[in-house]
Amino acid sequence: MAEFKGARLPYVKGFARWPARGGANADASGGSQGAAASPKREGKALRARVSRASHEWFAEDAGRPEPVAAVEESNRSRLPDLTPIRMGRMAASPFAFLRGAAGLMAYDLARTPVTGIGAQICGDAHAANFGLYADARGGLVIDLNDFDETAHGPWEWDVKRLAASLVLAGREAGAGEDVCREAAFDAVGAYRRTMRLLAKLPALDAWNAIADEELVSHTDARDLLGTLESVSEKARANTSARFAAKSTERFEDEDGRPVRRFVDAPPVLRRIPDAEAAEVASALAEYVDTLPEDRLPLVERYAIQDVAFRVVGTGSVGLRSYVVLLLDHRGEPLVLQVKEARPSALLPHLPTVGFTVPEVAHEGHRVVLGQKRMQVVSDFLLGWTTVAGRAFQVRQFRNRKGSVDPAALAADQIDDYGRMTGALLARAHAHSADPRLIAGYVGKNDELDTAVASFAVAYADRTEADHAELVRAVKEGRVGAEVGV
């Protein structure tokens, strides 16, 4: 048997280098005592360059895009007949405007302080982008659930977008200004405390930390329990089978065989030409190749029945998005969503703060990889494909999804929701960034919480002004909008 006593284990690509054993510079954790070798000390040292208090800073620069023009620019390459729906949804409220203006906020965030600590970020971590969905066995989990804008970038950007969205959602719900600021403050505090907790855990425990049944107690969100139970009950009924029952019809084809197809329900759901449907269906072969091999026996038990176009949420309206109906041998449905994936709206702004933008071979792959890097549990049928030269992500549609509407919460619930989402965001970031590094920077006291809460209020004010400009443009006829769709 080989003798390993006193020997160093070999370096293996993909793993950290094994620390020296028992040397003069070894600390209690087995690493070097040098500051550079201690992520926590390294994070703490960053405060000298970027103080935590500096994160309250927000000021417009002279080159800031005019908000209506910025939104119209983001409509480029979207389906033009659907952009009035997008404009109508964004004009509904300042919170709705923020949801559709990730690129404009990225411009603003690129002019605020950053530590330089990178993580896989959501890029659109507003308060409505958290929700329930089913794991592979049908159990409900809660996490971030939208990754169209995901990228490697500053962790602060997600935190500030979440905080600002909570202020806007609270204002829309009619909460007082102190309550709205407190929700932002509490969200950042929960992020900070959770990151510090994760930094103390063994790596594997930190990766899977904060089980969903412990989330409410961890974040002291008990006032939210009734709302979460109601959302969970609705989510359990939100299935492919229920969607198919409401959105399809049965009939017999020319050979007398039973067939199901989608029923037109414009403008949200509409049938498409046979050639377009065939193109989407054919693209699922590429999608299957992106799935793990152990999923293949399952998907092979389904046959494609029909394809339709379905309009998606506020930020994504105008993107090409399809639903595909599949049936198993018993006629039980599975519905997949095939949604266009465009380059992240953050990409033009990341170099401004020193982040390199890597080349992306396939935008659908970028979205899927970012989602898997941030979630503890992801859709087990998540994949990507290409349709007519455009990148798409593929996922289950209505796999027991449910969400809390933060703009409809009671005043005593908005801060609970802020704490819960702040904790979830910290867990997501800790999958790609060393939690010890961020924990060292954010520290024990509430200096960061106070600063980001001040930023959130200032940015909410700016968003309200941006929204007012869009509403004015709609009223004057300069921007076409369909309201209430």
pLDDT of amino acid 7: 53
* pLDDT (0 to 100) of residue 89: 96
Of 395, 417, 451, the position where a domain reaches its end is 395
Residue 27: its pLDDT value, please? 38
211 and 257 in a single domain? The answer is no
Q: What is the pLDDT of residue 174?
A: 96
Same structural domain for residues 245 and 288?
A: yes
* DSSP letter string, 151-177: EEEEHHHHHHHHHHHHHHHHHHHT--H
DSSP letters spanning 397-442:
SSSS-B---GGG--HHHHHHHHHHHHHHHHHHHTTTS-HHHHHHHH
Q: Is residue 14 part of a domain?
A: no
DSSP 300: T
Residues 58 and 201 in one domain: yes
Same domain as 149, residue 246:
no
Same domain, 376 and 259: yes
Q: Do 216 and 352 fall within a single domain?
A: no
425 shares a domain with 297: no
The pLDDT, as a whole number, for residue 28 is: 34
Same domain? 320 vs 435: no
Question: Which range marks the domain in which residue 452 is found?
Answer: 48-226+401-475
Average pLDDT by stretches of 10, the chain with 485 residues: 52 64 38 61 97 96 95 93 95 97 98 97 97 87 94 98 98 97 98 95 87 74 89 92 93 80 94 97 98 96 96 87 95 96 97 94 98 94 97 94 94 95 96 97 98 98 98 96 84
In this predicted structure, what is the pLDDT of residue 485?
75
Q: Is 324 a member of any domain?
A: yes
Does some domain include residue 232?
no
Q: Are 322 and 269 in contact (CB under 8 A)?
A: no
**Intra-chain end-to-end CA distance of the chain, in Å:** 72
Q: Are 162 and 127 in contact (CB under 8 A)?
A: yes
Is residue 381 located within the same domain as residue 419? no
* Beta-strand runs (E) in 212-332: 248-252, 258-262, 269-271, 303-310, 321-327
One domain, residues 347 and 273: yes
Examine residue 132 and state whether it is found in any structural domain, yes or no. Answer: yes
Model pLDDT, residue 465: 98
Q: What secondary structure does DSSP assign to 82-150, as a single string?
A: THHHHHHHHTT-HHHHHHT-HHHHHHHHTTS-----EEEE-S---TTSEEEEE-TTS-EEEEE---TT-
* Boundary-marking domain end, from 368, 395, 422: 395
For residue 395, list its beta bridge partners: 337
pLDDT of residue 210: 67
Total number of domains constituting the chain: 2
Q: How many helices (H) and strands (E) does the chain have?
A: 17, 12
Domain boundary among 395, 417, 437: 395
Indicate whether 108 and 178 sit together in one domain. yes
417 plus 379 within the same structural domain: no
